[in-house]
Amino acid sequence: MLEVMCMPVHEYFAGTYSEARAKFRSAAARATANVTPYTLPNLHGPEDEILTIDVAQLGNANPNSLLILISGTHGVEGFCGSGCQVGYFADELYRALPSESGAILIHALNPFGFAWLRRGNENNVDLNRNFQDFSNLPSSEKYDALHNWLVPKEWGGDEQKRADAKLLEYIDQKTLKVAKAEITGGQYSKDTGLFYGGRAASWSNGILRKILTDHVKPKVKRLAVLDFHTGLGESGFGEPIYLGPTVEGFELTKKWYGEEVRSTLHGSSVSATLTGSIADALPQLSPGFEVTYLGLEFGTVLEWEVLTALRADAWLHAVPNRVTQMRAAIKRQIRDAFYVDTPWWKAAVYGRSADFAIRASRALHQP
């Protein structure tokens, strides 16, 4: 059995999906949490392991408020969130919850991407763009104009250099903020492209909705969701980002977590405004019901390096089973773009996440 309780912080984190899942399940067992696995059908990981979303429940069995912690929405970003979830159990942060509250920890919402070092899922779908009304999708025109530069036909040679130059010229003309919005906001036309939201609800989308239906009962009057992400901002710093749709929700989120919360609604965040995010799957604010969805976005490396890693990985997978000597290097590159495998970064990330978990628990205490 894994020794979790006396681990130094950096050992809360894992080097592979399988190791992360084992640490999570062991830590959950020590905390006497109930764990339910949801197995991704017909697909396995690189070690032929099953791929699961593991959901751990602890605290009051019939709560009036809930804290939900989500890791691995963006696959390869799961190293960060998984370590923070293990620490939540190991350091018994759940003891800060009110007696009438419960906690739900969703581990590896995108297990395929986590295991195979991809940001998207088994169909290249970005889960944080997938919670949509698919009968009325937003326009992808802005992204379409950039796709061939983002994912050129060849990688590592002159064609990539030309595409890089075109992208940098475009960013210079449009400004980084505008270009980022056009590239990252979500697109629904290029299934081999970046930030692809899909054309139907994904398997993970359905599982998350089932979890919410099963656990957010009418008795629940407060819901706090923390979703762990990496890749934007200063390395090691976690920016709290409100991704909800309303000004009222943003004001409530600031009331719970403080004035440092940023919002994609006002352009104050390192993240562009998204379409079809997980926030759109949650129950909305209503009389007698309070809900906050907060993305904790932890910086890793420079944004151009992150974008380059995503582009290389998209090129690699644009052709199924592409034969190339660059495969291993591309996989190392994308892992390093979203996970800084050093003790200082892990300590900074975990400290910040623990702080916000405590803030959420205090908010749930409020009368």
d(CA 5, CA 355): 19
Cβ atoms of 249 and 104 closer than 8 Å: no
Residues 162 and 46 grouped into a single domain: no
Beta bridge partners of residue 35, listed in sequence order: 56
Residues 358 and 236 grouped into a single domain: yes
Residues 76 and 54 grouped into a single domain: yes
> Per the domain annotation, does 322 fall within a domain?
yes
For the record, the structure tokens of 8 come out as: 């130094």
**pLDDT for position 244:** 80
| CB hemisphere CA count around 309 (13 angstroms) | 24
130-169 burial code (b ≥16 CB/10 A, e <16):
bbbeeeebbebebbeebbebbbbeebeeeebeebbeebee
**pLDDT for position 35:** 98
Averaged pLDDT in 10-residue chunks for the chain of 367 residues: 66 98 98 98 97 97 97 98 98 97 98 98 98 95 97 96 96 91 95 97 98 95 97 96 89 96 83 88 92 97 97 97 96 98 98 98 92
Per-residue pLDDT tens digits for 81-105: 999 999 999 999 999 999 999 999 9
Residues 209 and 178 grouped into a single domain: no
Which residue has tokens 């609800």?
Answer: 201
Burial class (CB in 10 A: 0-12, 13-18, 19+), 198: buried
d(CA 197, CA 190): 9
> Per the domain annotation, does 2 fall within a domain?
no
- Structural domain span for residue 146: 141-194+304-334
pTM above 0.85, yes or no: yes
Residues 165 and 313 grouped into a single domain: yes
Average pLDDT of the chain to the nearest whole number = 95
d(CA 44, CA 116): 9
> Per the domain annotation, does 1 fall within a domain?
no
**pLDDT for position 4:** 42
Residues 128 and 154 grouped into a single domain: no
Give the closest residue to 182 by CA, choosing from 274, 77, 269, 245.
274
Per-residue pLDDT tens digits for 158-196: 999 999 999 999 999 998 889 999 999 999 999 999 999
**pLDDT for position 5:** 56
CATH number of the domain where residue 290 is located: 3.40.630.10
Residues 92 and 156 grouped into a single domain: no
Residues 188 and 289 grouped into a single domain: no
